A = this chain, B = another copy of it.
Amino acid sequence: MSEKIYRDSVHNIIRLKTDSSAGKLLVRLIDTAEFQRLRRIKQLGLALFAYQAAEHSRFTHSLGALHLATRTLDKLKSSYAISDETQIAVRCAALLHDIGHGAFSHVIETILDFHHEHFTIEAVLSDETEVGQVLREFSADLPENVAAIVRGDFRPMALAQLVSSQLDVDRMDYLLRDSLMTGAKYGIYDVEWIIKSLEIDEENDRLYVAARGIYAVEDYLQARYYMFRQVYFHRTLRSAEAILKSLLRRALNLFADGKPVWFAAGTPFEKILKGERLSLPEHLALDDSDVMFHIKQWQRSEDVILSDLSKRFLNRRLFKIFDLDMPEPERQEFLEAAKKTVERAGFDASYYFIEDSAGDVPYYFYTKERSEPKNMIYVEEGFSRPQIKEISEVSAAVRGLQKGFQIHRVCFPPELKSEIAKLYHRK
């Protein structure tokens, strides 16, 4: 049999032709230690506390992104000349785009202050990783080409946009996959029509969407908006992340203060506690099981706060979370009164009273101003006199998404819910 089949809940069947050198390369990449590690990192981190069935890993998502890249290239190459080298680089980048992700990425990146993309690029270029070796064996230029796509400075840019832009196979796959697995239907859009509508503007080296595809792209952007609102920024998920942050901060603080904190000696966790940067191999040695295992041990910590937060996290005794949607002076008033309530109840507010602001700036779903050309979405407008334009010039629906939204919430122990609710709803 000259193909390898991966069953997939989103795309049904993902095929890799193993009688071609590209197919063999991709199978070898999938079989590297670094890629297999993605099986041990959940795609949506703590979202399963809100949507219990969202238990899927970055492994299946990455295969899905590869599949969409392959399909889109198949579509494009029937009309445009695309070198084999470029095709292979694009498919590898689609497969490997998440290889640098760590466990519970969004939380841990914030606390340890790094960006997974940095590790993805390092992993691809490294001599030490299996991924790097497999790529290099295939062709000397391939690691750099893949890294360039991830970084965003690959040329032709049009093809790099397939893997890294506002309309790329990463987003295209995760919206569908997260919709299916959570059971929320917000992220479903017409992926077939989008693929069918993608074209290359060869003159300006950019991808664009043919006029017939514009509604499908609008719907896709709105799908993304609603997935953020209803899934990625779900109260329960944010509350779980707040607890995880608090408990990791507590462990770091205890360690810094010379207090006992359990860790597996000689593992990357030791360096994390010591506040040292992880090397690439150390970063790639970590996955969800390390974090879980340490938190499980911390349940038995002598430190009441670390022990308590660890138990809350493992047993899903999450913080209660309120939206701070009242007018400004009242908001401050409420926050102060609520904080006092928390402290009066004997909780250390720095771990038990957490404001959640989604980065303190509004989240922009799409803006022309804030994007480089390589991230923008271009569409053809009109049938009789078609012209290629940036999508927000053409679509009122997309302009509507440019305002983004401000998330401002506060988390606290559910034991105090009724007391704090009185402050919250009071006239």
Using CB atoms and an 8 Å cutoff, list the residues of chain A in contact with chain B: 1-3, 5-9, 12-13, 19, 31-33, 36-37, 39-40, 48, 51-53, 55-57, 59-60, 63, 78-79, 180-186, 188-193, 196, 215-216, 218-219, 222, 226, 229-230, 264, 266-267, 285, 287-290, 292-293, 296-297, 300, 311, 314-317, 322-326, 330, 334, 382-385, 396-397, 399-400, 403, 424-425
Contacts and interface: CB of A to CB of B under 8 A. Distances in A.
Contacts of A382: 325-326
Contact of A31 (B78, B184, B316): B316
Contacts of A267: 297
B181 A185 contact: no
Given A182-B7, A289-B296, A384-B323, A55 B55 contact: yes
A225 to B, nearest CB: 8
A289 B288 CA distance: 8
A9 to B, nearest CB: 5
23 contacts: A7-B183, A8-B53, A8-B183, A9-B183, A12-B192, A31-B315, A39-B55, A184-B190, A184-B193, A185-B191, A186-B215, A188-B188, A215-B230, A218-B226, A222-B397, A264-B264, A264-B293, A285-B296, A287-B292, A290-B293, A322-B383, A325-B383, A383-B424
Contacts of A424: 383-384
Contacts of A383: 322-323, 325, 424
A171 to B, nearest CB: 16
A9 B54 CA distance: 9
A183 to B, nearest CB: 3
A360 B425 CA distance: 49
Contacts of A396: 400, 403
A185 B9 CA distance: 12
A304 to B, nearest CB: 18
A53 B56 contact: yes
Given A7-B184, A33-B311, 14 more contacts: A5-B196, A7-B51, A7-B53, A7-B183, A33-B314, A39-B55, A53-B60, A55-B60, A185-B190, A185-B191, A215-B229, A215-B230, A264-B264, A288-B289
A342 to B, nearest CB: 17
Contacts of A403: 396
B222 A219 contact: yes
A20 to B, nearest CB: 11
Nearest to A423: B384
A230 B417 CA distance: 47
Contacts of A5: 192, 196
Name, among A19, A186, A330, the residue most crowded by chain B CB atoms within 10 Å (CB to CB): A186
A267 B37 CA distance: 25
Contact of A230 (B63, B190, B324, B400): B190
Contacts of A60: 52-53, 55
A6 B49 CA distance: 10
A5 B266 CA distance: 44
A385 B342 CA distance: 22
Contact of A186 (B219, B287, B293): B219
A176 to B, nearest CB: 9
Given A180-B9, A385-B326, A48 B39 contact: yes
Given A1-B196, A7-B182, A325-B384, A33 B78 contact: no
